[in-house]
């Protein structure tokens, strides 16, 4: 998902490589019978972005999952959520 988000940002001239975009991902696992099953995944993206590009970054964040092969493949079996944290570039 991070790759899809980063690619969509780059297509809009928002840098995502070289440390501009990072992700912290957590999964919630539950036991289903005797099997451990991933039930939920939450990704927190941190994006170093200029203030004038933040509205575009928020818009891209809002739709990137629908174009992500991983998110689309897991849809319906694992709940996926994301959040976007934006910080000023160094």
Q: What is the pLDDT of residues 20-78, one digit of tens each?
A: 999 999 999 999 999 999 999 999 999 999 999 999 999 999 999 999 999 999 999 99
Give how many domains the chain has, as a whole number: 1
Phi and psi torsions of 14, nearest 5°: -105, 115
Is residue 14 within 8 A of residue 57, CB to CB? The reply is yes
| CB neighbour class for 44 (10 Å; exposed up to 12, middle 13-18, buried from 19) | middle
Which residue, chain included where needed, has tokens 């099953």? 37
Q: Is the pTM of this model over 0.85?
A: yes
Range of the domain at 74: 2-87
- Look up the CATH number of the domain holding residue 32: 3.30.300.20
- Other CB atoms closer than 10 Å to residue 3's CB: what's the count? 14
Q: d(Cα 5, Cα 72) in Å, to the nearest integer?
A: 14
């Amino acid at each position: 998902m991070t790759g899809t988000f980063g690619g969509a940002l780059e297509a809009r001239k928002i840098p995502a490589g070289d440390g501009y975009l990072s992700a912290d991902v957590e999964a919630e696992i539950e036991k289903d019978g005797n099997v451990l099953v991933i039930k939920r995944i939450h990704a927190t993206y941190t994006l170093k972005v200029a203030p004038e590009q933040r509205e575009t970054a928020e818009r891209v964040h809002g739709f990137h999952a629908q174009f992500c092969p991983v998110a689309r493949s897991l849809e319906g079996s694992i709940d996926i959520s994301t959040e976007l944290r934006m910080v000023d570039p160094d």
